[in-house]
Amino acid sequence: MDIRFLSKIMLVTLLCGVTLMSCAGSIVDTKFLLDASTKSVSLPAEGGTAYVTVTSNGSWSIDNSANPWLQLAQTNGSSGSTKIQLTAGHNVTGSMRSAVLNISSQNGQAIRITVSQGSPLDHIAKDPNFYIFLAFGQSNMQGMGAIESQDKIVNNRFKVFQTLNCSNLNRSKSTWYTAVPPTCQCNSGLSPVDYFGRTMVANLPDSITIGIINVAVAGSDIRLFDKNIYMNYDSTSKDNWFTSLVASYEGNPYQYLIKQAKLAQKNGVIKGILLHQGETNTGQEQWPTYVKKIYNDMLTDLSLDANSVPLLAGELFSGDGNCCSGMNSIIRKLPNTIPTAHIISSANCTGQDAAHFDSQGYRKLGERYGVKMLELLRSK
């Protein structure tokens, strides 16, 4: 064999070997990188911001299954270190919530970050001396009275469980506040519950706190609160003021009230239910039967006993020029259908128009609700 040819073969073989070793070394030396500054993030119940830094030597992306309650300022990036802002609003769910952020890179690596947010109710223990009362109905329960200076002085043992986010009141949904009116809608007025609560705290030991949860819709038929047929009564009026009220309770006022009541039950004990409704159902003899269905549903859905949770129903405005006092004879029949129902008289409660009490009328009617409830509590 030609020596020069053999030498060329040996040289080519040597060069290939060196090349392969170099390539192998390159492969071994290359390290894929994907990491995060923390694998666990905790956000406060009232809302807040946290930061996570993602470091990678390749492109990456984040799968955020918690959207919309958890907002990420950035969900993808490339090689280098990227600081990402995580933001959550006020947690109004009534319980802690959490999510997992899955970060994956184009080189096949993946990491997970757990994000949790506490609840504003987590630190509040159930108190047997915290008496809670549910309220529902139409415009008079919603509150149509002018709120005057005397109405803004409230004992801090009288609380309202805020059912709507009201920026004008600086209140957040599903949170307890001292019950300075309005205690229903963000812009509603004085209602019977305002002086119901005042009467209760004025006549009970200092160890007792009174809380109310008020979900009412002006102009509503009582069957809007029937969980099985509410959808037939959620647009009895096409006017925006009515449909927007229904929409504010997620289209289902009954279920909305139950949801809020279940959250509140973590803090106290439901002791009674207050009702003021009937103007829209004037003349309907079946009204007591409609109310019985709703009351029984509430007892069942909230695991309550009728003997421990009476229903107080108020008469309609009966002053001069009223529209609907003829309904009071039907309302007075309610105890015949619901043995644990009690009627609150509206006699001599003054009004501002054909259907609504004025501020003094609401104060007097609310006090009567309170006196009756105190009587029932003391009889047990």
CB 214 within 8 A of CB 181: no
Q: Which residues does the annotation mark as catalytic?
A: 139, 353, 356
Helix (H, G, I), strand (E, B) or coil at 356: coil
**Alpha helices by DSSP H, the chain:** 3-29, 139-142, 192-202, 240-248, 253-264, 287-301, 328-331, 334-337, 359-378
CA dist 242 and 220 (Å) reads: 8
CA angle 33, 35, 39 (to 5 degrees): 160
C-beta separation of 98 from 115 below 8 A: yes
* Main-chain dihedrals φ then ψ at residue 158, nearest 5 degrees: -105, 115
Helical (H) or strand (E) element with 100: strand 97-105
C-alpha radius of gyration, the chain, whole number: 32
Nearest Cα neighbor of 344 from 130, 140, 154, 139 is: 140
